Amino acid sequence: AMDEVVVPPGGAGLLACLLCCGCVFWSLWIACIIWCVVVVNQSSALSNSTECIYSVFGYETNIWHFCFMAVIIIPILSFLVGIIRSAYAESKFLFNALGQISGAFSLVMGIWGVLLWTNLTNECDIFYETSYSSLLLIFKVYVVVLIIGFVSYVCTICLLLAVGTTVIMSMLGGSPERYESIPDSLSDLQQQQQAEQGQAQQQSQASNLPPTTDYV
């Protein structure tokens, strides 16, 4: 007879609750992405606009160009990089090198967004709030998320480097207990040498004693 699966009391309800929460989360996430794409598409008139244009990295851009890259282009590039990484999974060097591309994307987009935000004048802020409030919201949310992601990425790299450095130093330098017996002055060194000589003489004298025989 096949073993019956015993569900603990309340386990089915908890599992159903987790599934429902997961479905709601992913549904909201997909709806948010679709909404961002629709807003960027509806604001495409700004792509050729001469209002609120700023020179960043030598190019004349505005927040629509940033949102277009962040919402559409970067996810597509990240997806392609993920496919290439899976193809080179056997090569650790290429796999890890390709994995750093996401961090580079976050760095470039984060710097771009911060420069645009700092150059955003009050007139342009009012212009976007009046005519493109949804696009301005997407812009600010993406800049904050990219900055947080990049800072987390840098902190992770620094933590890994610190752990690796500690491990290497412990392997090369040894434990601190090795240096506890080092004397602090010349007199301490002489006393230590005399003590070692005395111990050596006692051991040599003990080894030269004739063997004893017990008599009953």
What digits encode the pLDDT tens for the residues 4-59?
A: 555 555 567 778 888 888 898 889 989 988 999 999 998 888 888 777 888 777 77
* Two structure tokens written together for 87: 């193809």
For residues 144 and 137, is the Cβ–Cβ distance under 8 A? no
CA atoms within 13 A on the CB side of 129: 7
Reading the block at residue 40, the tokens are 């960027």
pLDDT above 60: residue 213: no
With a cut of 50, say whether residue 132 has pLDDT above it: yes
User: What stretches of 43-185 show up as alpha helix (H) in DSSP?
Assistant: 63-68, 74-87, 92-99, 101-118, 122-131, 133-173
pLDDT of residue 186: 59
pTM: 0.63
Report residue 66 as tokens: 């940033």
Residue 10, sorted as left (phi over 0), alpha (psi -120 to 50) or beta, turns out to be: left
pLDDT digits (tens, 9 = 90+) for 152-168: 878 888 888 888 888 88
